[in-house]
C-alpha cells in the first residue's frame, strides 16, 4: 500500500528569493566580454544625457525669448500712440516755424526801400543829383523760395532719417529770413564835381543798409550847355546790425504824431 505524505516536514525550509541588481549586472558583465560593445553602450548613454541637457537648455531659452517677445509687443503697443503724437507735434512745430520765418522775412523787408531812399538822399553831396534808381535783381519772395526748395527735396526726403529731415527743415526756415533781403540796384546821376562822386560812393558804402558800391560807368556829357559827369553805380543791400535800427510801436508812433 502506497502512502503519500501531504504535510511537508518541518525540517525542510523554502529558499528565500531576493532581487539583487548588483548581482544581476555583475552577471551580465561577466557574460559580456566584448569591449567594443561596452564602449558603444557607454557612448549611447552619454549621447542620451547630452541630448536631454540640450533639450532642457533650448526649452528654457525658448521660454525666455517668448517672454521678451511678449514684453516687446506690449511696450510697442503701449508707446505707439505716444510716438505718433510726438511726430505729429514735431511736424506742427516745424510748419509753424516756417510760417513764422516767412512772416518775419516779409516784415523785415517792408521798409527796405524806405531805408535805402533815406540813406541815398543823406549821402548825396552838393551839386550832384540822381536821374534813375533801378532794382537790377528780380524781387525775391520768401514763400516762393520755400516752395522751390520743397519741390527740389521731395525725392530725397524719403531716404533721409528723421533727424536729418528736421535739421533740413530748420535750416530751410532759417534761410527764409535772408531770402528777400539781398538785392542789387543801380544809381544813375549827374555831378559837376568828380570829387563829389567819390564822396558819394564812400557815404553809400558807410551806410549799414548798402554794400559793394561800384562805379560801372562815368562819361562827360553836355546838359543845358554845361559839361557834367554822368555816372552809373551798382550796389547791393545788406542786413543792418541790430543796433542800427530803432523800432517803435505803432501806438507810440501814432501818439507822438498827434
User: Which of 64-73, 151-160, 229-238 has the least mean pLDDT?
Assistant: 151-160
Q: Is the pLDDT of residue 125 over 90?
A: yes
Kindly report the number of other CB atoms within 10 A of residue 89's CB atom. Answer: 10
Mean pLDDT of 21-28: 54
What is the Cα–Cα distance from 167 to 161, expressed in whole angstroms?
A: 10
Who wins on pLDDT, 140 or 106? 106
Residues whose CB falls within 8 Å of the CB of residue 37, separated by 6 or more in sequence, listed in order = none
Q: Is the pLDDT of residue 199 over 90?
A: yes
Q: Which pLDDT score, from 0 to 100, does residue 147 have?
A: 44
* Residue 252 vs residues 185, 237, 256, 258: alpha-carbon distances, Å: 33, 29, 6, 10
**HEC-encoded secondary structure of 69-137:** HHHHHHHHHHHHHHHHHHHHHHHHHHHHHHHHHHHHHHHHCCCHHHHHHHHHHHHCCCCEEEEEEEECC
Mean pLDDT of 9-18: 51
Question: 3-state class of 156 per DSSP?
Answer: coil
> 41-61 pLDDT, tens per residue?
888 888 888 988 888 888 888
Q: Is the pLDDT of residue 151 over 50?
A: no
Mean pLDDT of 177-203: 84
Q: Is the pLDDT of residue 101 over 80?
A: no
Q: Is the pLDDT of residue 100 over 60?
A: yes
Residues paired with 230 in a beta bridge: 190, 219
CA 74 to chain centre: 28
Instruction: Name residue, grid cell 535783381.
Output: 137
Q: Do the beta carbons of residue 238 and residue 210 sit within 8 Å?
A: yes
Average pLDDT taken over every residue of the chain: 75
User: Which of 80-84, 239-243, 251-255 has the least mean pLDDT?
Assistant: 251-255
**Which of 180, 187, 216 is CA-nearest to residue 119?**
187
Q: Which pLDDT score, from 0 to 100, does residue 243 have?
A: 75
Q: Which pLDDT score, from 0 to 100, does residue 223 have?
A: 82
Confidence of residue 205 (pLDDT cuts 50, 70, 90): very high
pTM of the predicted model as reported, rounded to 2 decimal places: 0.47
Who wins on pLDDT, 105 or 251? 105
Q: Which fold has domain 109-139+180-241?
A: Alpha-Beta Plaits (3.30.70)
Query: Grid coordinates in use for 14?
Result: 523554502
Confidence of residue 146 (pLDDT cuts 50, 70, 90): very low
Counting every residue, how long is the chain? 258
Amino acid at each position: 500500500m502506497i502512502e503519500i505524505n501531504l504535510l511537508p516536514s518541518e525540517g525542510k525550509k523554502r529558499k528565500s528569493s531576493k532581487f539583487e541588481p548588483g548581482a544581476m549586472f555583475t552577471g551580465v558583465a561577466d557574460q559580456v566580454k566584448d569591449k567594443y560593445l561596452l564602449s558603444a553602450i557607454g557612448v549611447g548613454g552619454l549621447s542620451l544625457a547630452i541630448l536631454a541637457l540640450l533639450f532642457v537648455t533650448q526649452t528654457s531659452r525658448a521660454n525666455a525669448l517668448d517672454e521678451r517677445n511678449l514684453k516687446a509687443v506690449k511696450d510697442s503697443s503701449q508707446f505707439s500712440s505716444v510716438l505718433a503724437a510726438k511726430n505729429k507735434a514735431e511736424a506742427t512745430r516745424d510748419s509753424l516755424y516756417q510760417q513764422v520765418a516767412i512772416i518775419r522775412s516779409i516784415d523785415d523787408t517792408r521798409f527796405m526801400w524806405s531805408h535805402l531812399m533815406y540813406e541815398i538822399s543823406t549821402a548825396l553831396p552838393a551839386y550832384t543829383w540822381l536821374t534813375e534808381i533801378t532794382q537790377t535783381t528780380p524781387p525775391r519772395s520768401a514763400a516762393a523760395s520755400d516752395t522751390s526748395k520743397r519741390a527740389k527735396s521731395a525725392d530725397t526726403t524719403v531716404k533721409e532719417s528723421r533727424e536729418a529731415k528736421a535739421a533740413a527743415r530748420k535750416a530751410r526756415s532759417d534761410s527764409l529770413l535772408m531770402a528777400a533781403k539781398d538785392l542789387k540796384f543801380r544809381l544813375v546821376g549827374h555831378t559837376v564835381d568828380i570829387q563829389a562822386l567819390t564822396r558819394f560812393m564812400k557815404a553809400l558804402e558807410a551806410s549799414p543798409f548798402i554794400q559793394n558800391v561800384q562805379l560801372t560807368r562815368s562819361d562827360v556829357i553836355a546838359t543845358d550847355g554845361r559839361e557834367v559827369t554822368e555816372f552809373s553805380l551798382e550796389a547791393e543791400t545788406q542786413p543792418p546790425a541790430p543796433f542800427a535800427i530803432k523800432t517803435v510801436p505803432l501806438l507810440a508812433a501814432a501818439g507822438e504824431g498827434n
